[in-house]
Amino acid sequence: MADAAEGQTRTAISADMQKVVGSELSRMVSYPISESDVRKWALAIYYPEEPPARFWDQDAAAGSPAGGIVAPEDFNPFAWLRAQPRGVSRSSAATDADSTERSLGIEGPHLMNQLNGGVSVEYGAPMRPGDVITSVTRLGQYSEREGSLGLMLFTPMETTWTNQGGEMVKRQTLVLIRY
């Protein structure tokens, strides 16, 4: 955006920030998913109705198109414990608008406010009992534009879950808006 007073382009994106685009922000590995984990999640999601048999009954699930018990798409294998957690603590990120860049060892844009700009999700292979899921979050390409409150910085973070066979289970993109 042009700054009329100085005739220069105003930006919150530093050269260091451009260099870290694509960097890994966090990585987690789940414990193996158990049938009990799937059943409990399905019960919680479908309550008070009974969940579909494909989530809890081995015999009924064997005849389904999936060929066995599968977890609901929104199942989170990291909800309780993680076998290997690493990366940014999202609790600290909630109040620190520069925590993303700080976690990568660079200076942030020094913007004061942040909010969730939206989430999109794509699902792939179903999660099954015995699967070990790896979650990797990477920093996407920064972009910015002027808004009614000034310069807004859009920071996408893409999280990809894969199973032990390397199949994509879930891809989620969260956009952080800072101003």
Is residue 27 located within the same domain as residue 68?
no
Q: Give 174: exposed, middle or buried? Use CB within 10 Å, 0-12, 13-18, 19+.
A: middle
Is residue 2's pLDDT more than 50? no
Task: From 54, 76, 98, give the residue that closes a domain.
Answer: 76
- Amino acid of residue 116: N
pLDDT at 171: 98
**Predicted TM-score of the model (pTM):** 0.83
CATH number, residue 139 = 3.10.129
Is residue 29 located within the same domain as residue 41?
no
Is residue 41 located within the same domain as residue 9?
no
Q: Which domain holds residue 42?
A: 34-76
Is residue 62 located within the same domain as residue 116?
no
pLDDT at 54: 75
pLDDT at 124: 97
- What's the pLDDT tens digit per position in 59-118? 666 666 667 789 999 999 999 888 887 665 555 556 789 999 999 999 999 999 999 999
SS3 content of the chain, % helix, strand, coil (to 5): 20, 35, 50
Is residue 68 located within the same domain as residue 6?
no
Structure tokens at 176: 């952080």
DSSP lists the bridge partners of residue 171 as 122, 160
Is residue 65 located within the same domain as residue 126?
no
pLDDT grade, residue 3 (50/70/90)? very low
pLDDT at 95: 77
**Mean pLDDT to the nearest integer, 38-43:** 92
Is residue 13's pLDDT more than 70? yes
Is residue 55 located within the same domain as residue 97?
no
Is residue 84 located within the same domain as residue 127?
yes
Is residue 13 located within the same domain as residue 53?
no
pLDDT at 6: 54
Annotate 98-131 with DSSP letters as a single string: THHHHHTTS-------EEEEEEEEEE-SPP-TT-
pLDDT at 90: 52
Closest CA to 137 of 117, 154, 114, 156: 156
Is residue 151's pLDDT more than 70? yes
pLDDT at 10: 84
Is residue 104 located within the same domain as residue 115?
yes
Rounded to whole angstroms, the Cα distance separating 99 from 119 reads: 19
What total of structural domains would you count in the chain? 2
Is residue 66 located within the same domain as residue 149?
no
Task: From 59, 76, 93, give the residue that closes a domain.
Answer: 76
Structure tokens at 94: 């909630």
| For the chain, counts of helices (H) and of strands (E) | 5, 9
pLDDT at 80: 83
Is residue 27 located within the same domain as residue 106?
yes
